[in-house]
Amino acid sequence: MKLKHLILISLFLPAYALAQTAIGEQTYRYNDTARKRPLVTEVWYPTADRKTPALKENFPFIVEPTIRNAKLPAEKHPLIMISHGTGGGRLTMEWLADALVKQGFIVAAVDHWGNTYDNKIAIDFLTPWQRAQDISFVLTQLLNDAALDKVIDRQRIGAAGFSIGGFTVIALAGAKVSLDAMDAFNKTPQGIKEITIPEFPDLINKVDEKELAALFAKSPPLKDKRIKAVLAMSPAVGQGFVSPVQFKEVDIPMYIISAQSDSIAPVKTNAAHYHRLMPKSKLYVVRGKAGHYVFLNEAIPEVKKTGGIIFNDDPAVSRSAVHELVGNMAAKFFKESLKWQL
């Protein structure tokens, strides 16, 4: 192609297409003093910053290089809040953040206090409503930040979550869990299997049932009307829902994605169960031998050697291929649901 043709084409390209868009990344440290919960939050966003993107030092996952503290975008973008799985962390689903930022979204992921890989507090593993409150609290802080408020489209906010994070975003949509239903299920063979999680094998023996029941009785409403669409990946806690009435306040688009060979949050008792009780939701199941942890970051080879089922998939499964598929599906879903295009 001749130079004059390239010049003519460039005249008709939007400004953001002329500059190479990279991924900016910043860490925010919030503290919900009322609930005594420090909430470290990672934010990724499109940036035209000319600095060279870099990988995090000694990072155990394969992710895109980012520009630390890069310039914020010049225009408003939709915001997607991410809730990690139990015993995970704000960076364990960075692959999804990368995929969404490349499609023009701003993404914020929260460390749920007491429920991360490096800070395990038994009671915080079994009080899931705290996580929804974490997301709502951090969302308020982000919108109260003058610089971020200039680039976040308040009318286009979504949420995505994995495992118990999937439950978290469903709760933010207005679903109400039942402790009695959970208790009844947890006494069945399948329930015992599901509550015995690799991240905290003896969890059920570390919590006083009366204390837990008292806390559940005080759990507040969790629906956050600012969130307009929800993506739940291999959502857990399906056993806490037995009636469509528990979803009567869910009035936003809901996309549920799971994996056929998930043994931690099996499709039948979780993803498909949620979908049956919410017939207007969309359900997609990754076929084959993909398991629960396929929705976590791809680990570097050194970590895979000792990472067990959390970082190793069946030989027939390509975690990166699943991420590419689901990342594109997530971007398409949020674009359509939030009525937005780059």
pLDDT at position 10: 36
**Tell me, what's the pLDDT at 9?**
33
Residues of the chain with pLDDT under 70: 1-20, 123-125, 186, 190-209, 211-217
Q: Give the pLDDT confidence of 35-91 residue by residue, as tens digits.
A: 999 999 999 999 999 999 999 999 999 999 999 999 999 999 999 999 999 989 999
**Burial environment of residue 272 by CB neighbours within 10 A (0 to 12, 13 to 18, 19 or more):** middle
d(CA 77, CA 72): 11
Mark residue 237 as left, alpha or beta (left: phi above 0; alpha: psi -120 to 50; beta: remaining).
Answer: left
| pLDDT value at residue 17 | 39
pLDDT at 193 (0 to 100):
65
Residue 122: which of 189, 49, 45, 208 has the closest Cα? 208
Q: What pTM value is reported for the model?
A: 0.89
Q: What are phi and psi of 114, to 5 degrees?
A: 80, 0
Judging by DSSP bridges, how do beta strands 77-83 and 106-110 pair with one another?
parallel
User: Which segments of 24-93 does DSSP mark as H helices, in order?
Assistant: none
Task: Quickly name the fold that domain 19-288+322-337 has.
Answer: Rossmann fold (3.40.50)
Contacts 24+ apart (CB under 8 A), 263-268: 263/291, 263/292, 264/163, 264/194, 264/197, 264/198, 264/234, 264/236, 264/291, 264/292, 264/293, 265/163, 265/166, 265/194, 265/234, 265/235, 265/236, 265/238, 265/292, 266/190, 266/194
CA distances from 247 to 61, 79, 171, 242 (A): 36, 24, 9, 10
pLDDT in tens, 303-339: 999 889 999 999 999 999 999 999 999 999 999 999 9
- 296 φ, ψ (degrees, to nearest 5): -95, 165
Domain boundaries, given as residue ranges, for the chain? 19-288+322-337
- Which one, of 53, 95, 108, lies nearest residue 298 by Cα? 95
| Tokens 């006494």 belong to residue | 187
**Is 45 in contact with 106 (CB distance < 8 Å)?**
yes
Whole-angstrom distance, CA of residue 217 vs CA of residue 219: 6
Q: Distance of alpha carbon 89 from its chain centroid, rounded?
A: 10
Query: How high is the pLDDT of residue 11?
Result: 38
Asked whether the beta carbons of 127 and 168 are under 8 A apart, the reply is: no
**Through-space distance between the first and last CA atoms of the chain, rounded to whole angstroms:** 27
